[in-house]
């Protein structure tokens, strides 16, 4: 799903954003006529198409994704409003630009609009597969390997087979906010423990999201019985294909 402008959802955003070199605003008020938008009906149909690929793979999830057209564009403060004749709903967007699309027949019938609190031409509506985070914060390496396999198989099945030809799951990425100086993951084994600090890097497989703090765990470097325990502040989990 990464890199292609398809809309997906799990059961499945004042002034314009500054260009590179300018101050980057966080909170913006944009007139409705000038805001970036997308058809809710199209998003709904896409959600219906992609939902089965997630339902059969319980370790992964799919979201509506807001992608910046320039990697340096800020992701803080993004917000979506669903607006129709009788529909008015706020949809939260996380620091990775992901949002959960509510599936509402009324909004579909009204052909409601998904409106981003940013001016046209700086962001686009797309979609994102990612590995589900766990409430207990503990990730056995065997589970992460299976999650990576589920994600790449979902991407292949939903239209990315040629793009992923010859690719294999090699690892996962624990993603933190760009300015998180404490971002790290603890790798635990029966007789040892190692802390891996995050480094600036790409959160997903393409460059559209810019740089975050990322801890890459290569699956071949650790036994299946090992556990990854990310420190607080985790935003999401991506994959490494080679």
Domain coordinates of the chain in residue numbers? 32-129, 142-241
**What pLDDT is stored for residue 3 in this prediction?**
41
The pLDDT of residue 199 is above 60: yes
- The token pair at 26 is 């966080």
The pLDDT of residue 34 is above 50: yes
Rounded mean pLDDT of the chain? 87
Supply the pTM of this predicted model.
Answer: 0.84
The pLDDT of residue 121 is above 50: yes
Going 71 to 211 to 202 to 155, the CA torsion angle's sign is negative
Burial group, residue 27, by CB count within 10 angstroms (0-12, 13-18, 19+): exposed
The pLDDT of residue 11 is above 50: no
Confirm if 8 and 50 have CB atoms less than 8 A apart. yes
Which of 142-146, 208-212, 225-229 is least confident? 208-212
The percent of residues above 90 in pLDDT, for the chain, comes to 75
Which of 9-18, 83-92, 141-150 is least confident? 9-18
Q: DSSP of 178-240, one letter per residue?
A: TT-TT-EEEEE-SS-EEEEE-EEE-SSSSSTT--EEEEEEEGGGS-TT-EEEEPTT--EEEEE
**pLDDT (tens digit, 9 = 90+) per residue, 123-139?**
999 889 999 999 999 99
- Estimate to the nearest angstrom the gap between the alpha carbon of 82 and the chain centroid: 20
Identify which of 134, 167, 135 has the alpha carbon closest to the alpha carbon of residue 151: 167
Cα separation of 94 and 63, whole Å? 11
Which strand (E) or helix (H) includes residue 148?
Answer: helix 141-155
Q: How confident is residue 30, by pLDDT bands cut at 50, 70 and 90?
A: low
Average pLDDT over residues 222-230: 96
Higher pLDDT, 205 or 76: 76
Q: How confident is residue 178, by pLDDT bands cut at 50, 70 and 90?
A: very high
């Amino acid at each position: 799903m990464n890199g292609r402008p398809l809309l997906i959802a799990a059961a499945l955003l004042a002034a314009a954003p500054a260009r590179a070199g300018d101050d980057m605003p966080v909170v913006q008020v944009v007139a409705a006529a000038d805001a970036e938008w997308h058809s809710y009906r199209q998003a709904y149909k896409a959600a219906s198409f992609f939902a089965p690929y997630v339902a059969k793979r319980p370790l992964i999830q799919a979201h509506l994704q807001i992608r910046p057209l320039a990697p340096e564009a800020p992701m803080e403060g993004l917000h979506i409003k669903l607006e129709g004749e009788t529909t008015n709903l706020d949809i939260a967007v996380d620091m990775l630009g992901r949002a959960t699309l509510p599936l509402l027949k009324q909004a579909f019938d009204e052909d409601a609009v998904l409106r981003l609190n940013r001016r046209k031409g700086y962001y686009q509506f797309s979609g994102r597969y990612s590995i589900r985070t766990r409430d207990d914060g503990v990730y056995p390496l065997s589970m992460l390997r299976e999650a990576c396999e589920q994600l790449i198989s979902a991407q292949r099945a939903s239209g990315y087979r040629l793009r992923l030809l010859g690719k294999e799951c090699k690892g996962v990425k624990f993603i933190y906010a760009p300015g998180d100086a404490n971002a790290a993951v603890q790798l635990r084994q029966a007789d040892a423990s190692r802390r891996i600090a995050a480094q600036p890097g790409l959160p997903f497989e393409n460059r559209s999201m810019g740089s975050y703090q990322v801890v890459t765990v290569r699956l071949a470097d650790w036994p299946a019985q090992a556990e990854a325990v990310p420190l607080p502040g985790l935003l999401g989990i991506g994959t490494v294909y080679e």
